[in-house]
Amino acid sequence: MPLTIYMPALSPTMEMGNIVKWHKNEGDSVSSGEVIAEIETDKALMEFEVADDGVLAKILIAEGTVDVKVNEPIAILIQDGESLDDISDINTSEVSNFEEDVASSNPLDPDIVKHTDNTDENVSSEEILVSSNTSTDKELDAENIRKFITPLARRIAFDKGIDYSSIHGSGPNGRIVKSDIQNYKFPENNQIIQNNMIDSNNQYIETPIDSMREVIAKRLQESHSSIPSYALNVDVSITEINKIRKKMNKDISNDMRISINHLLIKIVSLSMLKVPEINTSWAENKILRYKDTDIGIAVAIENGLITPIIKSVNTKGLAIIRDELKDLIKRSHEKKLKPSEYQGGTISISNLGAYGIKSFTSIINPPQSCILSIGASRKIPIIKDDAVSIDEVMSITLTADHRLIDGAVGAQFLSSIKNLIENPNLMLL
């Protein structure tokens, strides 16, 4: 019996994946554990290993196809003594299912997109459209190609700027016909944009939304609208910690140096141990309090951001933290993090100091309880013993989930961080 290979769920949150590359061709032999494809999930590019020996008889979803649903058949594996003909044995509901899905998924072939656009004189082959196509992205353009639609309906849709990717056609085999387009109602907010576009006659560049942007949008929207958060802000003197850092980094090559971030991670971990309410997650009807401190670091990468997590910081020294962070950042940029490396944690640290930002608040990254926003260090005059002197400070803002962390607890946590930064020798305690 041929085996159907399904789109794997490579992470708990993964609903769809993109097939970036097939490492094997149809007809190639594969053995268990061999990498057959590269699959891009919501946040990472992953290698997909086959679990059985056999021959890759059929690739059902082409390389470059995006948004393939988890559990959708993507390939068929046959085993010794079986022939391609056996593929017909696969139960029909499954076959019809994937046929339908193939039709709605979308290989990204820019040439096809271009060609299609070119057939309509009113739309240029570039991505600049005068009409509004608000909702989605590359998924949309590509999906339009795979949707069955009559030439007339397609022309009217383009002329009116209607995204027909979500329209269910009423024609034969679900083909979209003229009346489907004529009966299409613009979603209300899109209508406004549509109108604005017409009013301003302003051309715009349409950029497709990739899966990372989609995840960012979805998660932050959810976080912002569902978590009752508040912010606490404190100025912290970094004069002392910088002194220590200088000593530590003396005669050490650049890539071995300990940065303020490494120290911060450690200090945050220590403070979490001290204020255990911080190291928690809201799980609807219960609160999860963790033993180890898993701390996320926001990393800006091309076209987005990701928050790799340093696990069990409480068990690690600065050198390990430094090495792990370096590796995580590198692989973040390469989009090669495993889901387990960026999921979970109870707190994140976001440092925009390098941009000269004085202080800011952030949006909590669920399931975490809070996030620390680190501003730029700056020198300020201070009065000590009736004398003016110079101090170097940075602003730290805690944005916390009030369901988990009450104001006083948040303040306690933030003052612990402040205390440790200003008195780094306390870290030894």
Partner 1 sequence: MNFEYDVVVIGSGPGGYVAAIRAAQLGHKTAIIEKDNLGGICLNWGCIPTKALLKSSEVYSILKKSDYYGISAKEITFDFDKVINRSRDVAKSLSDGIGFLLKKNNIDHISGNAEILDVNLLKLTNKSKDKDISFKNLIIATGASAKELPNISFTSNIWSYREAMTPKDLPESLAVIGSGAIGIEFANFYNSLGVDVTVIELADKILPIEDNEISNYAKNEFEKQGIKFQIGSYVESVEEKKDGCHLKVVNNSDKSVSKLKSDKVIMAVGITGNINNIGLENVNIKTENGHILTDGNMQTNISNIYAIGDVAGAPWLAHKASHEGIIAVDFLSGLNVHPINNNNIPGCVYSSPQVASVGLTEEKAKEQFQSIRVGKFPLVANGKAKAISNDTGFVKVIYDKETGELLGAHMIGEGVTELIHGYTIAKNMEGTEEDIINTIFPHPTISESLHEAVLSAYDRPIHFK
d(CA 37, CA 294): 31
Q: How far is the CB of 156 from partner 1 (least distance, A)?
A: 5
Q: How far is the CB of 153 from partner 1 (least distance, A)?
A: 6
- Nearer to partner 1 by Cβ, of 49 and 159: the residue is 159
- Nearer to partner 1 by Cβ, of 118 and 195: the residue is 118
- Nearer to partner 1 by Cβ, of 39 and 162: the residue is 162
- Nearer to partner 1 by Cβ, of 71 and 119: the residue is 119
Q: How far is the CB of 112 from partner 1 (least distance, A)?
A: 18
Q: How far is the CB of 179 from partner 1 (least distance, A)?
A: 9
Q: How far is the CB of 159 from partner 1 (least distance, A)?
A: 7
- Nearer to partner 1 by Cβ, of 51 and 198: the residue is 198
Any catalytic annotation for residue 115?
A: no
Binding residues (CB under 8 A) for partner 1: these are 119, 150-153, 155-156, 159, 170-172, 177-178
Selecting among 23, 168, 224, 402, the annotated active-site residue is: 402
Residues carrying an active site annotation: 402
